[in-house]
Amino acid sequence: MPYNPQRRTASICWILTALFVFVIFAPSIFGMDGPNGGFAISFLSLVAAITMLIVAIMYQGRASALGRIFKGENLLAHWKYDPVEWRAYAEKEYIIEKRDKRNLFYLLAVISLVVGVGFTIAHPDVGWVLLGVFGGLLVFIAILVLFSTRYNYRMNKKYLGEAYITPDGVYLNRQLHLWRGWGASLDAFSYNEEDKFLAFQYSTPNRTGRADYTVRVPVPAGKEQEARQILASFQKKGNI
């Protein structure tokens, strides 16, 4: 069976959960006085343990889902790519991802600037603090966008692409995209005949609402009819 990176992440999260559970009781075990930091350590460790437990359960579910994909359960397609074909996809995907994330960053920058300037005008005594916070946040987002885009590009160049497609998700070049469970949903699906790729648009819940994602799966040469059959399968099941 192929390597399952989700299982490794789940194992790390379980280990961290156990570690934080131990640290909850460490002050009592080692005789540390509660008012002098013992209670604080226990409380912070409790929060961390609960957080890591939730993450561990989530990744355990993802690992199980990926394991079922590798076993061929409900598999609609398993595609491997020619090196030249994959290289062309990697370059095009890098350009698209840079454009999309750059446009999103510009939108966030404009919103932050408008809110920050407006708040500064209304409250000049503390407005500069908010501007500083927004400025720092934008720098952090810019670094995150740059890192994530370049990371995906490096992974696409390092590994020759392989795609598994199921009704519940896609595993493309070591990245798992699921739209079943944990409140996730598949919102749109299409097949671009001209550029030869399947596009899956899905969303997952987060603290501020829902986060939207798009994964574009290149269709290998000679697999166009199979891609049309996959499209028909999703349409028949009412997934879009």
Out of 97-111, 160-174, 191-205, pick the least confident.
97-111
Q: What is the mean pLDDT of residues 89-106?
A: 83
Alpha-carbon distance of 236 to 233, in angstroms, equals: 5
Residue recorded with tokens 């939207």: 212
Select the more confidently predicted residue: 196 or 128: 196
Residue 188 neighbours by CB under 8 Å, 6+ apart: 199, 200, 201, 240
Residue-level pLDDT at 137: 76
Question: Residue 130 phi/psi, 5° resolution?
Answer: -65, -40
Number of alpha carbons in the 13 Å side-chain half-sphere of residue 92? 12
Residue 116 pLDDT more than 80?
no
| pTM across the whole model | 0.73
Residue 36 neighbours by CB under 8 Å, 6+ apart: none
How high does pLDDT run on average in the chain? 85
pLDDT band at residue 99 using 50, 70 and 90 as cut-offs: confident
Provide the CA 82 distance to its chain's centre, in angstroms.
Answer: 26
Residue-level pLDDT at 174: 84
Q: What is the mean pLDDT of residues 148-154?
A: 80
Select the more confidently predicted residue: 84 or 116: 84
Q: Strand runs (DSSP E) across 114-220, as ranges?
A: 162-166, 169-172, 175-178, 185-192, 197-206, 209-218
Q: What is the mean pLDDT of residues 68-78?
A: 92
